A and B are shown apart, each in its own frame.
Chain A
């Protein structure tokens, strides 16, 4: 297993990363809100608060992006088995959004001056280096998604 970019980060780089994550989070809220609005009709009806809270719980507590992706894929599979193809599509869209966070993590880490693996490195090496940053981004994005979804489910 390779090293995370945070293992060798200086205190100044960790602080810079925190600031960069805050800026990324505020800018990513629009995307999460857009996804919630796209599936507005399903929220509170075919996609319950328990499922959304489950997603939030797993992303906030898991040390691995794989667990988060497995949860999302499992929700999609359950929806498909039940013949709820619109719900399956929702979870697929959430999964695709979470996939984009690998490249976002690379950008955020490199802009912060962390020693990111060069593009074209082995996927295992990239994952080990950036998973912590990717999870931090996923936590922010999912919080925006769940908060907006809870609000519009109430309407």
Chain B
């Protein structure tokens, strides 16, 4: 029989292990994914800051990955003139990039040490996926703001 304090200790260790793995994956996203390219293309579109901030706010308040991709699909659908999220399929590529993070989440969960396996539940890969999406969007927004500011400066 496992005591409650052992379970709590195991869960705390798991949270710490996941935090480290997600931080490493987040740093790698900047180099190994197309986040910079996507941000640059969004900065060249007619998107304004508030529309990108809306995406970031949703990502940090929702408990579902599908809420993020649904929001993107809706704004792509509303972009009749293809000047914002639908420009050159940038929104759809962003959805694909976010969905592709699921395999990274699965890998992070698979690599959890055996001694912490008891604290892993079936929903964990989904929650790690959500955390990776938040990290990706955080980078995307930061890069977007930087590039959009530079573009505006050059235009002055």
Contact = CB atoms under 8 A, between A and B. Distances in A.
B64 A153 contact: no
B126 interface: yes
B150 interface: no
Interface in B76-126: 76-80, 86, 92, 123, 126
B140 to A, nearest CB: 19
Interface residues of B, number: 19
Consensus secondary structure, chain B interface = helix
Consensus secondary structure, chain A interface = helix
Interface string A133-155: 00000001001101111110110
Tell me which of B63, B66, B92 has the highest count of chain A C-beta atoms within 10 A of its own C-beta.
B66
Interface stretch (B9-17, B29-37, B47-55, B67-75): B67-75
A147 B64 contact: no
B70 A154 contact: no
Contacts of A9: none
B65 interface: yes
B89 to A, nearest CB: 9
Contact of A154 (B63, B77, B123, B126): B77
A74 to B, nearest CB: 24
A64 B123 CA distance: 29
Contacts of A128: none
A150 B76 CA distance: 8
Contacts of A22: 63-64, 126
A113 to B, nearest CB: 14
A151 B76 contact: yes
A60 interface: no
A20 to B, nearest CB: 8
Nearest to A36: B73
Given A19-B123, A22-B64, A29 B69 contact: yes
B66 A153 contact: no
Nearest to B122: A23
B77 A151 contact: yes
A153 B77 contact: yes
A18 interface: yes
A29 B66 contact: yes
A26 B73 contact: no
A25 interface: yes
18 contacts: A22-B63, A25-B64, A26-B66, A26-B126, A29-B69, A29-B70, A140-B64, A140-B66, A144-B70, A146-B74, A147-B69, A148-B73, A150-B73, A150-B74, A150-B76, A150-B78, A153-B77, A154-B77
- The 6 A-B pairs at the shortest CB distance, nearest first, are namely A150-B77, A147-B70, A151-B73, A147-B73, A29-B66, A22-B63
